Amino acid sequence: MGAAAARRRAARLTLHRVQRGVPHHGGRFPLQNVPMIRPTRALLSLFATALLVAGCSNDSASNAPTAAPVSPDTASDAVTPSAATAPGPAAAPLYRELRDFLVACDNGRHCEAIGVADDARFGLTLRLSRGAGPDGAQRVRLGTYDGRMDPATLQLDGQASAPLRGLPWRSDTDTGALVLDDPAAIAELIARVRNGARLSSGAGNARAEVSLAGLAAALLLIDDHQQRLDTPEAWARPGERSAAAVPRAPSLPRLPPAPAPPPSLTGEEVRTFADRVRERQADALRARDCDAPRDAYDIRRHDDAHPLDADHVLVFVACYSGAYQTASMPFRVARADGAAEALVLPSPPGLDAVVAASGFTLLTNAGYVPATGTLSHLAKGRGLGDCGEAATWRYDGQAFHLASYAALRRCGGAAPGDWPSLWRTAD
């Protein structure tokens, strides 16, 4: 199962846990303040983080790209056979909002233009994705949060559009979204909607729409980022520049192997390690304004511990807990004397305005798989799971290395957990 599919499944599985009466946190998802319902307070500022293996240092230089992309204006049209097959220059992740669209590109220069509301309404979501390189795969998805789409009801600016309805749409079996994979059909769609105001589907109470404001700018940014401006297959500004000049996808970082997992901890050992950390790190927990154990609600029920290596244990000390997610502080703890070190995990470079907090010192719905050395974080902006962030790290016996990161800050009815990738590795 792919990372995006896993996030969607996790988001759906938790929907039934959202309690009646819980306020509906809609609109923009401020990653610095993930709202949750607590037993003693109405709302809570909760930092969000993501899915598999984490680090003891905030130095992400080993994973971060270092070479800047070549400017489209200076790229040569003459490409030697070796250059045509060599990996492209390293690329930093990109996340930018342009009116009602956002552009998300990962470190492999795979990009998406996503049109989605940020006012908590359940409108349409329009996604145009493209891989790096001269022949990068293209895809368009048009869908709603929970409904099946019918191309026969598509309208542009309130008017029925036979050309749009006649495109070779197929239905995604997982989400019910309408999908286009043919580059020629995608080019026709773009030509017809790029100067429009709104794209809609359905009628009456079932009508849903998406604003097209910002689409043209988003497509231009993707063309520029992937260095395909003025080539025949460019989305926003096609021309006669050779497509062979478009750089191929850069090589993705490779993670070091995980160590052989030590034996599992017993329930008694889990409780002992967690209680010891709570006692010795009491000042740090208070500084975080973490909930203290109470008779009516013992936050310690969410504490957890896992074997990390022969000398250390990974301990999650629960800080806050709400209707559908729990935030925990992660510690690496020495087996011998119980000395605890708060983890500071590497973040993707260049995304300070997107990541909840550099260092991921507080993880949401944290998990760890000793067999693969994978640490995970999954934070939903609201219980529906249509916005949020997810990250994973791998432990190599010494430190955690960033493995993946995905985020969507706008809460407007996207498919649960279907957040664009911003960092990935070759593993």
**Domains of the chain, start order:** 3-61+255-423 (no CATH), 81-245 (2.60.40)
Could you tell me the pLDDT band of residue 242, with boundaries at 50, 70 and 90?
very high
Could you tell me the pLDDT band of residue 1, with boundaries at 50, 70 and 90?
low
Identity of residue 85: T
The answer on pLDDT for 231 being more than 60 is yes
Per-residue model confidence (pLDDT) at position 6:
54
Tens digits of residue pLDDT in 4-42: 555 555 544 443 333 223 333 345 554 434 434 333 332
Per-residue model confidence (pLDDT) at position 189:
98
Contact between 91 and 226 (Cβ < 8 Å):
no
Mean residue pLDDT of the chain comes to: 81
Q: What is the Cα–Cα distance from 101 to 94, expressed in whole angstroms? A: 14
Q: According to the 3-state scheme, what is the secondary structure of 393-408?
A: EEECCCCEEEEEEEEE
Could you tell me the pLDDT band of residue 184, with boundaries at 50, 70 and 90?
very high
Per-residue model confidence (pLDDT) at position 68:
33
From 65-74, 119-128, 138-147, 275-284, the region with the lowest mean pLDDT: 65-74
Contact between 247 and 223 (Cβ < 8 Å):
no
The answer on pLDDT for 174 being more than 70 is yes
Per-residue model confidence (pLDDT) at position 129:
98
Q: Give the mean model confidence (pLDDT) for residues 108-132.
A: 90
The dihedral sign for the CA sequence 166, 235, 216, 418 = positive
Per-residue model confidence (pLDDT) at position 54:
34
Tell me how far apart the 2 most distant CA atoms of the chain are, in Å: 73
Q: Give the mean model confidence (pLDDT) for residues 399-427.
A: 90
Closest C-alpha to 107, from 60, 75, 64: 64
248-279 as b/e, with b when 16 or more CB fall inside 10 Å? bbbebbebeebeebbeebeeeebeebbebbbe
- Phi, psi angle pair for 11, to nearest 5°: -65, -40
Q: What is the Cα–Cα distance from 23 to 32, expressed in whole angstroms? A: 19
